Chains A and B, each alone.
Chain A
Amino acid sequence: MDKDQSSARDEILGRIRNSTRTEKNKSNIEDAQTSMKTMESATINFAAGPDKFIAKLNEVKATVSVISSRMELVREVHEYVARHQEKPTITLANEPELTSLDWSESSITTDYEPHSISVSVTSACYGIEETGTLILYSSPTSPTGMNFLPDYHIVTLDTSNIVVSMDDVWCGLRKNEQAIPRSINMITGPSKTADIEQDIQFGAHGPKFLHVILIQNT
């Protein structure tokens, strides 16, 4: 930190410390958080089933289909894409659970091309039942751009990973002891704007269509 930065930092923190509102008797940084921990969930509350989540997805204008095994995924993706677009290139997140499937008939790539990507398929780690939200973590195999650049964003999610609320996602994050990813995208429906006379329009900058494929592992 350069000298000017160091002095600005000291000035600002100094003024805070001297303010009448500031607690003077705290001992260290971590102590300040103690009372906040009571807000946290000790266990992850998984949803009883996918129905509420599906209803919420519909409410927020995402489309949904449910398949009973990962084997059906290829067919489901093709059927969705065929309904909307003529022979597009489908960009898959470069994850074994996607790439190991038999995509032979299709125009599939795992090369992420940000300038021309039009349909992407990525996986969500969690779904939040309360709000119909998908949780996607960035990773080397699943760049963030895949969630925002295409016109059509297809997301896969195991129904066993649907949790009740956002707090359960944090609980899951902590339990897995993985480092927090660079970006956590919490996605609820397609991109939209109401900036023109409060009239909601989809596809403002992000995907115009969000399709969720729920995999119901029995």
Chain B
Amino acid sequence: MQPISHQFNSNVRKALNDKELQKSLFSAKDGLVNNRLKAIKVVSDFEDLREQAKQLKNHTLTNLDSYLELFEKNFTAQGGQLHWARDARHAQEIIVGICHQHEAKTVVKGKSMAGEEIDINTALENAGIEPIETDLGEYIVQLAKEAPSHIIVPAVHKTRAQISQLFADNHKQYGCNEKLTEASDLVAEARKIMRAKFHAADVGITGANFLVAETGSSVIVTNEGNGDLCSTLPKVHIVTAGIEKVVPRLESVSLLMKLLPRSATGQEITAYTTLTTGPKRQNDTDGPEEMHIVLIDNGRTEILNSEISDILRCIRCGACLNHCPVYGNIGGHAYGWVYPGPMGAVLTTAILGLEEAGDLPNACTLNGRCASVCPVKIPLPDLLRSLRTRQFNKSSGSKITRTVFALWGQLSARPAIYHFASGLAIKFLGLLGTNKGSFKYLPFVGGWLMSRDFPVPEGETFHSQWNKQKGKHHG
């Protein structure tokens, strides 16, 4: 998708005024939080697991080149074809190239955030190939011609009524003329329509939750089964995965699987966790004849070499989104690109740059709830602060903010002047607010006063009162 992070403020306004979105966000929030809590309560060593996972990921990042080479060796030994993509455009070229080689007309897709990141759907469409999203949530947003708004539940912003209308509008071409309203009926209709598409597709594209170096296996973690159909029925299977998806051994998967589903949806494990190791074997009855994995850099190596490299530990569980009060109020689209919420505020900014996404690291209270639930202990507030420092050092970002804080800093470094000036200001405000408890109007604090009253100060600073009262204690 084309990024619109640069119009963050208008995205936010739109989101806050969208009654249906607000309704959906409100009803989804608590459920996702509570389901996770229930799921982790039964694991007595959950905190230990988080620490182990952090260490595992750190170890892998420190040895990323070795693990990628090992993965390559084992995957190719099983007949797989590995591709290295420098950036989104390169990944698009590789994938479209494979599709053209096979004269593909339709491609069925399992959910892949990396696929969204490289905007593969647009590239396929431009090449005359039809991409069909098969994950129900992704299918819904595809019909709505929208981007996903959450990395785990892409259509969380849609109500059942909206989905019912989308199906009614778009399924007539399949002979479905009844407008369905029950969730079970909607799912059954999608299943029927999608089944034909799975069988007809020339190529299947999925993401990968993990790439296991020890065996050359690609792992997907799903509930619907669509990912497995994408990677089994078509003649060609392509996997899109960031380079940081590699993990050392099979036991790495079991460790991360103790954390990922619990953190994401509150499940102990998903309905389907599948390890795929290469294409169809000689006597196999089914399976793709070719299996390709496209390893994507797209800025990750630059991130690895920076002060925000901890973000590469992310296992895309979405827990930070689910616990972020900012995300919970503005939804995913406001962030303007593929990755929303706290991890998105870091990753989107890191990949697209501060020019495009400069608001994202700033639209955060640094409350830390995200970091407290991250299964791999990414210090998200620290990373956002690092991006703000980058911004400050580049002299980009709001000039007003910079000026105000510079003045404040200068004043604070001169205590005598600070106390004198603040004393005067507070006296003035106190006088202005005589007989009032709060101000409704004041210059310079428009942002606050737009929706809040501002308390009238007592009229004398504490230091001034203390000086008068207790000279003998003053240090």
Contacts and interface: CB of A to CB of B under 8 A. Distances in A.
Question: In the complex, is A directly touching B at CB under 8 Å?
Answer: yes
B276 interface: yes
B305 A185 contact: no
Contacts of A5: 83-84
A97 interface: no
Interface in B183-221: 183-184, 186-188, 190-191, 194-195, 198-199, 213-215, 217
Interface string B292-318: 000101000110110001000000000
Given A21-B61, A40-B251, A204-B223, A143 B271 contact: no
A165 interface: yes
A180 B254 contact: no
B223 A39 contact: no
Interface in A14-35: 15-23, 26, 28-30, 32-33, 35
Interface stretch (A45-53, A75-83, A194-202): A194-202
In this complex, the interface size class of chain A, counting residues with CB under 8 Å from chain B, is: 35 or more
A109 interface: no
B359 interface: no
A131 B268 contact: yes
B277 interface: yes
Nearest to B288: A182
Contacts of B194: 205
B228 A148 contact: yes
B345 interface: no
A187 B73 CA distance: 28
B250 to A, nearest CB: 4
Interface in B335-385: none
A197 B160 contact: yes
Contacts of A198: 27-28, 31-32, 153, 156
Given A36-B59, A192-B271, A205-B134, A183 B223 contact: no
A182 B279 contact: yes
Given A12-B297, A32-B66, A205-B195, A195 B137 contact: yes
B255 interface: yes
B252 A193 contact: no
Interface in B409-426: none
A88 interface: no
Interface in B67-121: 67-70, 73, 83-86, 90
A194 B286 contact: no
B301 A180 contact: no
Given A21-B61, A36-B59, A195-B155, A12 B27 contact: no
Contacts of A156: none
A16 B68 contact: yes
Given A15-B305, A114-B233, A182-B284, A189 B271 contact: yes
B62 A23 contact: yes
B62 A138 contact: no
A183 B63 contact: no
A16 B252 CA distance: 21
B67 A32 contact: yes
Given A35-B59, A143-B287, A188-B272, 17 more contacts: A29-B73, A32-B63, A32-B67, A36-B56, A39-B249, A140-B281, A140-B284, A140-B285, A165-B254, A181-B277, A182-B280, A184-B275, A195-B135, A196-B160, A198-B156, A204-B190, A206-B272
A-B complex: 10 closest residue pairs judged by Cβ atoms: A206-B225, A204-B224, A15-B301, A19-B305, A140-B283, A195-B137, A166-B254, A143-B285, A143-B286, A170-B250
Interface of A: 5, 8-9, 11-13, 15-23, 26, 28-30, 32-33, 35-37, 39-41, 60, 112, 114-115, 130-131, 133, 138-141, 143-145, 147-149, 165-167, 170, 173, 180-199, 201, 203-207
26 contacts: A5-B83, A12-B243, A16-B304, A21-B305, A26-B63, A36-B56, A36-B59, A36-B249, A112-B286, A114-B199, A138-B287, A139-B284, A143-B286, A148-B228, A148-B232, A180-B275, A188-B272, A190-B271, A194-B223, A194-B265, A195-B155, A197-B183, A198-B27, A198-B28, A198-B156, A205-B224
